[in-house]
Amino acid sequence: MTSTAPNPVTGAPTTDAWGIDASWLDALDEEHTIAQPTIDRLREVIGTPPEDLLDRAPIVARPGDALEVDRADVECEDGQTRQVDGELPEDFPLGYHRLRTPDGRERRLIVSPGRCWLPEGWRAWGWAVQLYATRGRESWGIGDLGDLRTVREFAQAQGAGFVLVNPLHAVAPTPGQEDSPYLPATRRFRNPVYLRIAEVPGADAVDVEADAGRALNDGELIDRDAIWALKRRVLQRVFDAGVDEGPFRDWWWHQGQPLMDWATWCALADEHGPDWHTWPEPLRDPRGAAVADFVTAHEREIAFHAWLQWLLDVQLRAATEGTTVIQDLPIGVAGGGADAWAWQDVLAQGVSVGAPPDAFNSQGQDWGSPPLVPWRLQAADYEPFIQSIRATMAGAGGLRVDHVMGLFRLWWVPSDGSAAEGAYVRYPHEDLLDIVALESHRAQAIVVGEDLGTVEDGVREAMAEHGILSYRLLWFEDDEPAQWPAEAMAAITTHDLPTVAGLWTGSDLAEQRERGLGTEEELLRGRTSLLGHLGFIAEDATPAEAVEAAHRQLATAPSTLLSATLDDALAEERRPNMPGANDRPNWCLPLPVPTEELAAHPGVQAVAGVLGAGLHPVTTKGKVKSGKRSKSTGRSTRTKHR
């Protein structure tokens, strides 16, 4: 494995046989060469795939496509057997099938529609919500699925067509709760801290300590450790009192091995800590005899964690009923978590995912999640990726893929080096995009790709071909919103960037200055640049007036989705997360208005009115038809932080 191959997106001969790019281009099109020791280290981590990998890796195709095999039998998902000979018939069923050749070779055949589900001509505006921050009078210190239902109901009443929520994925069930929604223990299951305790079946028969729960709302910050300790104690009490296990057991049976793995990991984490690397060695193998013995001896504890997931499924479906709720898929998982334990043979050891140096982060970024090894992902029939996509879409109708460029390449950071000493590793993006399209089609879920950052040539064209909406921000775009593409979600800011009020008043600049996040010149230049995107607003405008003016601009965009944050509507000056400020209470700031009062808030009403009035028929064309590739339109210089 010493030869190089053309870069699969740009065509440049820079990618070696391990999928490692020998160089990379920054936002200014300056080329940076990767040091040979980094390449050698990553080659060691990636390893050598089996010689017959290409003969048994999944085939991902669309109806009518030519195949890389001749005559073969295909056992379809529905049990029927069909024959293929060199190509798939146009009427071949979509789905996950098994292909067998006459010489006995077998491999997975994934048949995709090629484009994500999106109703023709549909447009909508909606609210972007940090659910943990959206707490009401009945919340226990943190926004929960009951609050999501309240938001969904008033959003529907306002005419909104969707709600976008932060990742709801689970973390370890132990003290020291992870605050960031973007570093979960799993991307397949949800966080029980979001349960509305009063709506748990059987809660009315025990002492639920409701007064103590509501008292947690008095805290200025969201204290996940205190909240989870109380919720878990009460949930255990309900479970121990006896629950109607019929519906739960039936649901659990249909979840299969993935839920069993998750619940087992939780029970093990309760006993041995949240990082599986520190467990007794026999328990590190999820399929080993020691884990099987543990399962037999801890059936009740495992059932409790599975029951929590059933409750979450029931409450989420009730919370999202009748409206598209777009759920966020993080780029990865915690290295000591459940998915990393279950899929340790597929994840890379000794590296993590991050970003190369840029204008905002001169040392690069390390996000702490271990990446999937591309060839091992193929050898696993893409199952880890499929399960993560499917589970995040479930029950809601929408998916936002965080750092969608990661489907094409990821910046790998060796554990013994800095983020600046990493390199890009390539992924089979065509297969991954087609899998996203298949899951979107099955779930009837719209898909948004968060393409903020240095976006290489060809990425947005591939997204457009697959029906994945781009993500456009007022803070980053040089063109007026009226010139933005139709196939996009349009917004002003994200959780990592200044709110309109924080920018307008200068309080966000003051906090960056206080926390030493740049030189005075850099910080002033950054604020001046963002203010320039607001257009003309009277100097004496109030923060609320600035917010409304910004959304009037946004409302001129012809984009499919127009998104506003509740933080902006409430003229909140603090952003949810300030990257690089590790001593700041990131992800722990509640909204200043209770959920029950949001609908009547003047700022919420004003933004809803502006965006609702801005929806108008899209006159521009530009959808890229399936099977056709577009020419590149250049490299983006928009920068995304984590």
574-613 pLDDT tens trace: 999 998 898 999 999 999 999 999 999 999 999 999 999 9
| Confidence check: pLDDT of 642 > 80 | no
Rounded CA-CA distance 249/474 in Å is: 48
Q: Nearest-CA neighbor of 171 among 183, 158, 188?
A: 183
pLDDT at 5: 55
pLDDT at 535: 87
Rounded CA-CA distance 567/490 in Å is: 16
The total of other beta-carbon atoms located within 10 Å of residue 70's CB is: 11
Structure confidence at residue 637 as a pLDDT band (50, 70, 90): very low
pLDDT per position as a tens digit, 63-89 = 999 998 889 999 999 999 999 999 999
pLDDT at 27: 76
The secondary structure of residue 632, as a DSSP letter, is P
Structure confidence at residue 29 as a pLDDT band (50, 70, 90): confident
Query: Within the chain, what is the greatest distance between any pair of CA atoms?
Result: 78
Structure confidence at residue 536 as a pLDDT band (50, 70, 90): confident
pLDDT per position as a tens digit, 209-256 = 999 999 999 999 999 999 999 999 999 999 999 877 789 999 999 999
Rounded CA-CA distance 103/610 in Å is: 64
pLDDT per position as a tens digit, 361-404 = 667 888 889 999 999 999 999 999 999 999 999 988 999 999 99
Question: What is the rounded average pLDDT for all residues in the chain?
Answer: 92
Rounded CA-CA distance 595/452 in Å is: 30
| Confidence check: pLDDT of 328 > 70 | yes
pLDDT at 43: 97
pLDDT at 7: 53
In a 13 Å sphere around the CA of 89, the CA atoms on its Cβ side amount to 8
pLDDT at 382: 98
What string of DSSP letters covers 509-558? HHHHHHTT-S-HHHHHHHHHHHHHTT----TT--HHHHHHHHHHHHTT--
Rounded CA-CA distance 365/577 in Å is: 15
| Confidence check: pLDDT of 633 > 70 | no
Helix (H) or strand (E) holding 252: helix 245-255
Structure confidence at residue 23 as a pLDDT band (50, 70, 90): very high
Q: What are the phi and psi torsion angles at 107 (to 5°)?
A: -155, 165
Rounded CA-CA distance 150/398 in Å is: 19
Higher pLDDT, 295 or 367: 295
| Confidence check: pLDDT of 312 > 50 | yes
pLDDT at 244: 77
Q: Nearest-CA neighbor of 264 among 209, 207, 370, 189?
A: 189
Rounded CA-CA distance 640/559 in Å is: 20
Mean of pLDDT values over 629-636? 31
- The structure's pTM equals 0.92
CA distances for 347 relative to 18, 173, 335, 344, 387, angstroms: 15, 22, 9, 5, 15
Structure confidence at residue 618 as a pLDDT band (50, 70, 90): very low
Rounded CA-CA distance 354/31 in Å is: 18
pLDDT at 359: 66
Structure confidence at residue 628 as a pLDDT band (50, 70, 90): very low
Higher pLDDT, 448 or 13: 448
pLDDT at 357: 83
Domain boundaries defined on the chain = 63-111, 131-156+185-321
| Confidence check: pLDDT of 627 > 50 | no
The secondary structure of residue 372, as a DSSP letter, is B
| Confidence check: pLDDT of 619 > 50 | no
113's CB contacts (< 8 A; 6+ apart) are 62, 63, 94, 437, 438, 441, 626
8 Å CB contact between 602 and 533? no
